[in-house]
Amino acid sequence: MTKISIKEVLDFCFCPRYYELKHTDPNESNFKELYDKTLHKCFYAYLRALQNDTLKNSIEFIKYRWGVEWIKQKKNSEVICTPSAAKRDTYDSKRRAGIDAIITFDNLMSTPQCPILINKEYSIKITRDITLTGVWEYIREVTINEQKRFQILKIRTENNRFQIDDLMRHDLELTAAAFAFQKMFTAEDFDLVYIDIYKKKMSLSSRSDKDFLLLKETVKSVVNCINNKIKCISPDKKCFHCEYRDVCSSKL
Ligand code: SF4
């Protein structure tokens, strides 16, 4: 019986060495991950406040959360004095990028909506022996043309590695969220919404049975490779966008 998360599948597809460094040999050099996780904590707090009807001044609320969460990442000694100028500059550039990100998020969330699920884990069988896990970041109900619709949202905070504009159409994480939602709630009619904080835009999408088939085949292949220790590491231009470039011995 194998249990694998959709994030692990994506990381293995990106590069098997990247998967190893991130999931089996984690180190603290992944600034991108830290920034993304911290921003998501703020977004979820914002959405929970929206759900509980306690979000009085949304921008003040999220600004405060960002300040608390980002400063909290630092050790006490680092708050007073950061020994490495490069590290301090990265922290500071991310702090400023984070302010831009939370303002964008607040603007994109301004439409009337009813939050249903926030940061909720799912688990779905792909085959008898493989279970895929993931997280529904946000599911909401909105009214469009007087019709109520469910929407599954994914929030991306960083630019994608290859600047591909139609990435959303092929985003496996969103496909997995849609597949799990369809199976677990026997729902057929819902929208997928991709929130690109970096590009400050929101796009609607959908998935077909062909996309779900592709997802299942990808998960099965990745599990097969991991279980049988098959790893084809082919360093190429992706290495220039990789957070582990400094510690990877296989880089281009
Ligand atoms: S630097 Fe290249 S080979 Fe190394 S983990 Fe990153 S993408 Fe893979």
Task: Report how far ligand 1's centroid is from the alpha carbon of 241 (Å).
Answer: 9
Read off φ and ψ for residue 26, nearest 5 degrees: -70, 140
The ranges assigned to domains in the chain are 14-110, 114-226
Q: What amino acid occupies position 200?
A: K
**Residue 216 vs residue 203, higher pLDDT:** 216
Give the pLDDT score at 198. 87
pLDDT in tens, 109-133: 998 999 999 999 999 999 999 999 9
The conformation of residue 240, written as its DSSP 8-state character, comes to: G
**Residue 209 vs residue 89, higher pLDDT:** 209
The binding-site residues of ligand 1, defined as CB within 6 angstroms of any ligand atom, are 15, 17-18, 21, 233, 235, 238-239, 242, 244-245, 248, 250-251
Task: Report how far ligand 1's centroid is from the alpha carbon of 39 (Å).
Answer: 25
Q: Is the pLDDT of residue 23 over 90?
A: no
Task: Report how far ligand 1's centroid is from the alpha carbon of 54 (Å).
Answer: 44
pLDDT in tens, 33-58: 888 999 999 999 999 999 999 988 88
Give the pLDDT score at 159. 73
The conformation of residue 199, written as its DSSP 8-state character, comes to: T
Q: Is the pLDDT of residue 89 over 60?
A: yes
Report how far residue 234's alpha carbon sits from residue 226's, in angstroms, rounded to the nearest whole number.
16
Query: Taken in order 56, 62, 67, 68, is the CA torsion positive or negative?
Result: positive
**DSSP for 59-113, written as a single string:** HHHHHHHHHHHHHHTS-HHHHH--S-HHHHHHHHHHHHHHHHHHHHHHHHT-S--
